Structure 1
Amino acid sequence: MVRETGSQTDTLGENGQSAVLGLVLLIGLVATVSVGLLLIAGDATTDVQQQAETERVEQSFLEMSQNLETASSARDAARKMNLDVDSGRNAVRYRDGGEIKIEIGTNDSNPYTRDLGAIEYVTEDGTKIVYQGGGVWRQTDTGVTAISKPNVRYTDGTLNVPVPRVTSEQRLSGGTIRMEAGNTTRVHPGALQEQVTITITSEYYEWWATHFEDDLSIGTVTTNESAERVTVTIDPPTDPSLGVDANFNQALTIDGTLATSSGGTTTGDIRATESVEVNTNVDGDVLSDGDVHVTSSTRRVTGDIIAEGDVDIDSDVRGDVIAGGNVTVASSAGTVSGNIVAGGDVTVGNGPSIGNDIYANGTIITGWNTVGGELYATGSISAPGTPSSAEHENVSNIDSPISAAYGTGLDGLLSNRLGAGTDREPLDDAINGMVSAAEADGKTFQTVRSGDTLEAGTHYVDHIDASSNGPHNTVTFDVQDGDINVIVRGDISVAANGQIRVANADSGNVVRFYSAGDFSMRGGTSVCPTTGNRCPTSDRDAKVLQFYGTSESTYTFNGNSVFHGLIYAPSDDNDNVIAGGGSIELFGSVIAGGFDTNGNTEVTYDDTLEDRYEEPTDPTTDDASDDGPIVNYLNITVYELRVENE
């Protein structure tokens, strides 16, 4: 009994000990969890506090950035603000922050170089808030975030780069700070005419690289990690002009000698920088910086003759004759209906009649003929066919009576009518440059033959052969969807009843040929903006087909050829445009180094060109890669700014 009772007593004792142990464990677990919760809450509180600190500092730096920008423009007063940062840890500091260097041109021996300061704040968790050059950034272990970007702006071709350069005490404390502007330097004001390079060496170079490359897409941006350097190269805009100097306001504009054939008619004005020999009818003016000879093969010149040199007339002139030298009217001539004005002598043979006045800065000799007006000369007057009267007047200065009639003296009269001399540069560099660049880029130069059709765009062609080719005799250019530019490495040949035609010529688009070789037409050929078999005789439009050549290019027309278009080929060659035998029709306008015809050639000026022609630009720029916005004007201004505690 006792033993049993004792056994029961031992069992109860063990159960009591277990209960106590369980209670102790429970209390320990609760304590452990409580401590853990307190630690987690403490970490969360710290994170919130640090986040609040970062946001507060960011707002202060943004306000500082805005005040510095205002101080740079409002130079008459300092700016003050409360810098809301923790002063106890000396967390705000000024750093030299590297330098900025600005080079103008490719060989700038004295570039603009200055230290580029930075103000930074480091939070307790290592986050950096930095102001430099007008921008505010946040840097953490995960990367860099722009809070406020530098005030670099691109608008309509103008890039403005303000560079606030700060200096300060090594340490800044919270509270009132003072910001004051110092010197302002305009490093590059105005038009961008040469390359400009901006180099920033800074611990924060990657921020600048991102801003220029991604945000602005301006210039060429390169970085050097080991040197902590970013370089921005900004090139001036490429001049897309080809150097074409033309308004196509005359039928023939020749930078050399001009000789028209004995058959046909030229309708429109003709102009040459050297001598002009007129063997055909001209329904327009004849202008020359040299001499002019109107031969007996010519039935008439309906306009004026204006020449810096001498003028010899063997036919009818229905306008004025104004010459810087002598004027001779042969006995075989018919009538000069207007005035004769000469910087030298005037000699009129027996027979011709003069419809108006004669002015000579020398002598006047007329035969037995009629002079309808007055005679003025600084030398002697011999006019047996016109009785001496008050209409014969010797003057000491011929400009006096000329001014009374024209409002200016002889020199002014010649200058007004002839205009300033034009020394047109050939297109050799432009055209050969396009060909060479295309070859270097590996462009394929195709051969264009009869039966082919080219559409809108820029085409690279070895040569064009428009001639009878089985069932085909036509090369067609379809301008429905835009202009067509054809860079031709070799020749353009239209032969054996061949044709060049333009589809949708009324679209307002044009075809431009830039040819490094020659152009020739022969054997019943035609070039005109139509799809018909025959060129139109009304509603003609020469603007649609435009041919541009080098100084070595020749343009030859033979054997019943019809051409409606423009030719621009300045050259020192006096024979680079030749209209040979057969019946030749040229409608449009020609600007060349020389012009010579020896057949029945009809030249007709398209009088709509002067108001409608547009000078071309380099068509190959369409193939260039997109290097970002074009900078026409670049303004770089450096502002010195001082930041210190009040």
Structure 2
Amino acid sequence: MDRRDPLSAERLVADGSMSDGANRFIRNEALTRRMNGPRRAQSEVVGVVLLLGLTIVVTGATVAIGSDAIDSTQQQVESTNAENVLSHVDAKASLVALGSAESQSIDLPRTDADRYAVNPDAGWVRVRYVNGTGDENLNETMPLGAVTYTNDDAEIAYQGGGVWRSQGNGTMMITPPEIHYEDGTLTLPIISMNGSANGGGSTMTLTQTGASTVVYPNASRDWTNPLTEGTVYVTIQSDYYRAWARYFESRTRTDIDVDDSRQQVTMRLVESTNNPTVGGAIVSTAGDHLRIQSGAIVDSYNSSVGNYSETAAENTSVITAGSVKVQGSGTRVKGDLVAGGDVTVQSGAQITGDLSYGGDLTLRGSDPVGGTVSGDVSIPSLSSADGMINAKRDTLRNDSVNDNDAADDIDASTDSLRDGQTSWELDAGRYYLSDLVLKQDEQLTLDTTDGNIELVVDGRLKLKGDSDVTVEGEGRVNVYTNGPLRVQSDARMVVPDQNAPQLWVYMKSHEQAKIQGHGVFVGVIYGPSSGPNPGVSVRVQSTADVYGGIVGYVDHTQGSGNIHYDEALRGENVFDTEYVATINYLHVTNQTVNVST
């Protein structure tokens, strides 16, 4: 008997082979199976339908995902092909531009030849050379143009001798442009792309359109090499300006000025003899009136020999383009005074060295001038720090460039000194702070034992109530401020042994600096005039002391506010050559290449 077969069981019951109890069980089991049989069959059908539906859904999703992957892979392959094609354009354009061949051809992929185009209006380059007196010897703007490949949101382009990629909000360089800088020589073979290639055929042809133009040097315009006492500015306007900026930074080891609103980047190269030194306690290239009064002392020392108490001397200079008043009993300029305007020395005050002036002269009292008096005046021309500060700020506020994450005492999420502390220390590196404000008894140590420190302060630099910023080690600290400077109420910003060449604070020409209330500053405050601004307005007052030098518009020193010029600054350049590129030779040519398909 097959116990699983209800019909077989029923036959046994009919034969009388089973007991009554067994008969009843078998009949009930058979009845149950008859009743449930159709339902089980229906469930099996539903299961098959669901399984088939799930299979269709999974298969459809797989096909869709696979299709997207195939499309993505195809776009990637096409973009890679485009990079190769435009790299060939780069090589062929150089041959044509340099005169090695009158024309060159490049085969385009048949599948996406219509994605290539030429845009003669895509970007330009401007080269300016401003000499030491502020005159423009050169100001030439040349088109760049571009050969482009577009695929959805990605664009690949040949421009300026380089290949660039733009996708979304980002740009990157694929191959470098034809701009070379090495050992003080800048070479700019500018290739301007012109033509009407716009998805026509399977071959792109590059043709020379006349001889190359030599822009600089140019004997007919008296533009010669080597350059003397000037600055060269190279500005690129381009959709790929951010990638251009990174290229400039990598090649010149200097910061550049980025203008997002105009999609421009500017590189500045300083002629090597135009990297000046600080020539006196006060150097003001613009401004009206300087008052040295109320017993103030302007003198000198030499930190390369010893500290101020050991080497105090009378070898300073005060140089200003405006007028000067030296007044008040005991007020002394212990050195020379050069003024482009009027000079007044009142009774009780004295200039111990020579006096040169360009306006009216008023001398009162006994022996107000210890040296010679003449009308021979020469005021130096100094470069503003405004552009450099902007460039440093734009560079170092980038988290991938600064060392904020590596500094235990900086909160990188807020770009500020970490809360809950009263002392902080920064080692060699490059840092960005939104503000730097020290309160009563707080201390910041800048340790240069392992190298130099660059610090951008994007807002206030303020030291209150007995707070300290101290430089340690033998390296140089460059501070770039985008706001005012205040050293107040017994606060100190110092270097041991008054070694001023180790600390440089660069300031905007429209800002203000105050050293007051027994405050002490050791270093250089540098912020000469720029455009309509006379220079950073500086006041030294209320028994404050500055050891080093000030370059800007000094309004006045008073109330025993003293400035002690560090003679060691005569051997130190204003711009740190580790970060500011210099130039002696400039070569600029321009060649137009026509593109057709």
Give TM-score, length-normalised by structure 1.
0.42
Q: Looking at CA atoms only, which structure, 1 or 2, has the larger radius of gyration?
A: 1
